[in-house]
Structure 1
Amino acid sequence: MADEGLRPIIVKRIKKGGGGHHGGAWKIAYADFVTAMMAFFLLMWLLGSTAKGDLNGIAEYFKTPLKVAMAGGSGSGDANTVIPGGGKDLTRQDGQLRKGENEVVNKRTIRAAQQELERAERTRLDELKKRIEKAMDSNPTLKQFKNQLLIDITSEGLRIQIVDEKNRPMFGLASAQLQPYTRDILREIGKTLNDVPNKISLSGHTDATPYSSGEKGYSNWELSADRANASRRELIAGGMDESKMLRVVGLSSAVLLDKEDPFNPINRRISIIVMNKKAEEMVEKDGGSVNVSTDEEVQENLAVPTKN
C-alpha cells in the first residue's frame, strides 16, 4: 500500500492544430483540381480540332509507341502537327521523314523506272533491227537491194531508210508509183513492225531538182507527201496494223542525206521511224514535233556515198 502512494502520475496532452479552415491543405487539393480541369479542356480541344484520320493515327501511335520510336519518328520539334512526331500524315505508322526526303526518294524511283523502260525499249528495237536485216539476207530477191536499205538507231527510235540509187529508183520518175521491188521491200518490213508495240512515223524525201512550174504548182512537197502515203499503204498491205501509223509527212528536199550534193539520187528516200516512247509523246502533244533526221545526225550515223 505504501508503494502505491509513490507511483508517478503521467498526464498525456494532445496538441491540436490551430489552423482549422485557415490551414493550407485545401490549396493542394485545389491545385490538383485545376490541373485536372486544364488537362480535360486540353483533351477536349484536341479532340475538337483533329480530323478523323488524325485521330486514327493518334490511336495507332499509342497502341504501338515503341514501333513508332524504333522507326525513326522523332519529330519532337515539328510544330506543323497537333501531336509532335506524327508528321503531316498521322495515319502513317512508319514514323515521319525529313521534309523533302519523300520527294527525293520518289524522283529517284521514277527515274530508275524510266531508265529501265528505256533499256527494255532499246533492246526491243535492236532485236527488230536484226530481224529486218535477217529477213533481207534470207530473201534472194530482196538481198540484191540491201545497199538501198539503211537501218540505224536515232534519238527518236529505230530508223529504216529506203534510198534511191542512180540506176535503181524506188518510184517512177517524178511520180508516186512504186517500183515492184520497192513494194516487196516495204511489205517485208510491214510484216515485222507488229512485233513491237511502238508507233510509226513515215516521211518522204526528194532531191533538190525542182519542177518546171516551181513551187506554185505541183512541187516536191506534194510529191514527197504522195510517196510517203504510197509507202504507208504498202506497209499495211504487208501486214502492219494501220493503227500503228502516227505520222505521215512529206519533207521535199528540206532534210538532205547528202548535203554537199542536193541532186544526189540518195536524197530521194522513204524514212520509216519506229518511235520510242519519248518521240511518241512529243508527237501526241499539241504542237509537238519529231526531229526527222537532221543533217548532223545523218553524218554521224551514216557514211554517205557521193555521186560519181
Structure 2
Amino acid sequence: MSDDSQRPIVVKKIKKGGHGHHGGAWKIAYADFVTAMMAFFLLMWLLGSVSKGNLKGISDFFNNPLKVANAGGSGSGDSNSVIQGGGNDITKQAGQVKKGDPPVQTEAAQDKKRLSELKQKFEALMNDKIRDNSKLGQYKEQIKLDMVAEGLRIQIVDEQNRPMFKSGSSELENHAHAVLQEIAQLLNEVPNAVSLAGHTDGTQFAGGAAGFTNWELSSERANSLRRELILGGFVPGKVLRVNGFGDVIPLDKNNVYNPINRRISIVVLNKEAESDIRKLAGQTEGLSVTGPADGFVNPIQQPTQ
C-alpha cells in the first residue's frame, strides 16, 4: 500500500489576460448613426425651404399616390413626375413665386395710381365744398368725372339755368370763374399735362361774323378755359392741346339740343397719351410738362386775342 503523503502536489495557476480584441464593428455602427443624422437634418432643411403648396402635394402623394398621379393638380408635378416640382427641369414649378423685394411699379402703373388718387381727391373736395356751400360745391351735378383711355376726364356741362358761357359767346359767366380757378389749383398737384376741349349743342350759330360756326365757338370756349385755368395759377406749360369739337360729339345723342351737350372738358393725360400726342405733332424728343424747355416756345401759350 502506497503512502498518499508521498504523492506530488500539482498546483495549477490560471493566468488572466486582458480583454480580447473586438474588431472594428463599433466604428461601422457609429458611421451609420452619423450618416443617418446628416440625412435627417438635410431632410429638415429641405422641408423648411419648401412652400406650403408643395408640402401639401408631397403629403397628398404619400397618402394616395394613385389619385394624385391620375387626377393631376397640385402635387402631380410639372412634367411627368407625380411629385410637384419633378420632371425634366425641377426649377420650372407652376405657381412658384420668388421671395424677395416686391416688384418695382412701372411708370404706367404709377401714372394710373396717381390719376386715381386725383379723382378721389377731387370727389372729396366736391363734398367739402358742398358743405361749405361754395361755388364749386354748387356745380356738383354739373361736374362729371370718369377714367378714359387718355387719363382722368373732368367735364363741366351746362344746365338750363346755369350755363358756363354767355349764349353764343366764349365769355365765361361770372360764377364760372371761381369754379375753374379752384380746379386749376387741384390740377397743379400732379405733374401730368392736360388736354382741353370745348363742345356745343346742335343749335346752329346764327349771329356774329360771316362763317362763324359751332366749330369756331367750341374752339374759342376751350381757349377761354385755358386762359381761366392759367389765371387760377395753373402752370401754362402743362397745357398740351386745345380742341374744339363743335356739336359732333354730343353726350345726349337722342337730343342734340340738350344743354348737357354744351360742355368743356379737361383730360389729365397719362404718360402714354401725352407721348402719342407729342408724336402726332411731330415731336421726337420728350419735353418736361412742368414748363417749356430752354429756347422752346409753346404756341399754345401765346395769346390768341
TM, length-normalised to structure 2: 0.55
Q: Which string of whole-angstrom CA distances, capped at 9 and with x for unpartnered residues, describes residues 121-158 of structure 1? A: 11110111122222222222221210000011100000
Which residue of 1 is the match for residue 204 of structure 2?
A: 210
CA distance in 2, matches of 1:128, 1:182: 21
Correspondence for 1:171:
165
Is 2:189 the counterpart of 1:195? yes
Task: Specify which of 119, 131, 151 is matched with residue 109 of structure 2.
Answer: 119
Q: Which one-letter code corresponds to 2:164 in the other structure? A: M
CA contact (8 A) 1:152 1:160 kept: yes
Q: Percent identity?
A: 49
Match of 1:195, SS state, is coil
2:5 aligns with none
Worse-superposed segment, 229-238 or 126-135: 126-135
How many residue pairs get aligned? The number is: 176
Cα offset, 1:214, TM superposition = 11
* Distance in 2, Cα, partners of 1:164 & 1:257: 11
- Could you say what secondary structure the match of 1:271 adopts? strand
Q: Distance in 2 between matches of 1:175 and 1:231?
A: 13
User: By percentage of residues, which structure has more helix?
Assistant: 1
Q: Residue in 2 aligned with 1:273?
A: 267
Q: Is the 1:153–1:159 contact (alpha carbons within 8 Å) kept by the matching residues of 2?
A: yes
Q: CA deviation at 1:116?
A: 2.2
Query: What is the aligned partner in structure 1 of residue 94 from structure 2?
Result: none
Aligned residue for 1:232? Answer: 226
1:216 Cα offset (Å): 5.8
Whole-angstrom distance in 2 between the partners of 1:188 and 1:239: 9
Tell me how far apart the structure 2 counterparts of residues 147 and 202 of structure 1 sit (CA, whole Å).
20
Partner of 2:250: 256
For 2:126 and 2:264, locate their aligned partners in 1 and report how far apart those are by CA, in whole Å: 17
CA distance in 2, matches of 1:214, 1:259: 27
| SS, match of residue 277 in structure 2 | helix
Unpaired stretches in structure 2, ≥5 consecutive residues: 1-102, 283-305
Secondary structure, aligned partner of 2:159: coil
Aligned counterparts, 1:130-149, within 5 A? 130-139=120-129, 140-141=133-134, 142-149=136-143
Give RMSD over aligned pairs.
Answer: 2.0
Instruction: Output the amino acid matched with 2:179.
Output: I
Does 2:179 correspond to 1:185? yes
Q: Which runs of 4+ in 1 moved over 4 A?
A: 213-216
Structure 1 residues 36-85: Cα deviation after superposition (integer angstroms, max 9, x where no partner): xxxxxxxxxxxxxxxxxxxxxxxxxxxxxxxxxxxxxxxxxxxxxxxxxx
Q: How far is the alpha carbon of 1:175 from its aligned partner?
A: 0.5
Tell me which of 132, 148, 158 is aligned to 1:154: 148
CA displacement, residues 199-239 of structure 1 (integer Å, 9 cap, x when unaligned) = 11000000010023799611111110111111111111111
User: Aligned AA for 1:117?
Assistant: E
The answer to whether the Cα contact below 8 Å between 1:135 and 1:188 also exists between their aligned partners in 2 is no
**What CA distance in whole angstroms lies between the structure 2 residues aligned with 1:213 and 1:145?**
29
Q: Distance in 2 between matches of 1:198 and 1:269?
A: 22
In the aligned structure 2, how far is the partner of 1:150 from the partner of 1:216?
34
2:118 to 119, 128, 149: 128
**Residue of 260, 281, 285 corresponding to 2:279:** 285
C-alpha distance in 2 between matches for 1:233 and 1:133: 24
Please give the secondary structure, in 1, of the residue aligned with 2:106.
helix
TM-score (normalizing by structure 1):
0.54
Distance (Å, rounded) in 2 between the aligned partners of 1:171 and 1:149: 15
Q: In structure 2, what is the Cα distance between the partners aligned to 1:127 and 1:286?
A: 29
Which amino acid in the other structure matches residue 203 of structure 2? T
Letter in 2 for 1:268: R
Deviations 1:235-254 (A, max 9, x none): 11111100000000111011
For 2:193 and 2:248, how far apart are their aligned partners in 1?
Answer: 24
CA contact (8 A) 1:220 1:252 kept: yes
* C-alpha deviation, 1:181, in angstroms: 2.1
